[in-house]
């Protein structure tokens, strides 16, 4: 399992709430955001397949917000992936 930033938020952070300050903070700590994965489910699957993995579950921002409702800030440019090594 891993979380990831949407590729769109790396290319255009100004379009996503909180992305600009978060990117600046990460860069100031020596961990700049270098790439993301498109939030489109087929793109996530393709990214995983190219690395020998198979998608089990993908949660985009909207799904995460429904799982974790409330007033807390949830970055609107993050997804979470559960993947596995395919069996032969």
Give the structural domain span for 64. 2-84
Segment 37-50 mean pLDDT: 90
Indicate the DSSP class of residue 15: G
pLDDT band at 59 (very low <50, low <70, confident <90, very high): very high
- What is the 3-state composition of the chain as percent helix, strand, coil, each rounded to the nearest 5? 40, 20, 40
7, pLDDT greater than 80: yes
26, pLDDT greater than 90: yes
Number of domains in the chain: 1
Segment 69-76 mean pLDDT: 82
């Amino acid at each position: 399992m891993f979380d990831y930033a949407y590729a769109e938020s790396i290319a255009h952070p100004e379009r996503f709430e909180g992305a600009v300050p978060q990117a600046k903070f990460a860069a100031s700590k020596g961990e700049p955001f270098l790439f993301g994965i498109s939030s489109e489910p087929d793109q996530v699957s393709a990214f995983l397949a190219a690395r020998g993995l198979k998608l089990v579950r993908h949660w985009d921002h909207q799904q995460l917000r429904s799982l974790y409702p409330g007033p807390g800030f949830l970055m609107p440019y993050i997804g979470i992936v559960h993947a596995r090594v395919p069996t032969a």
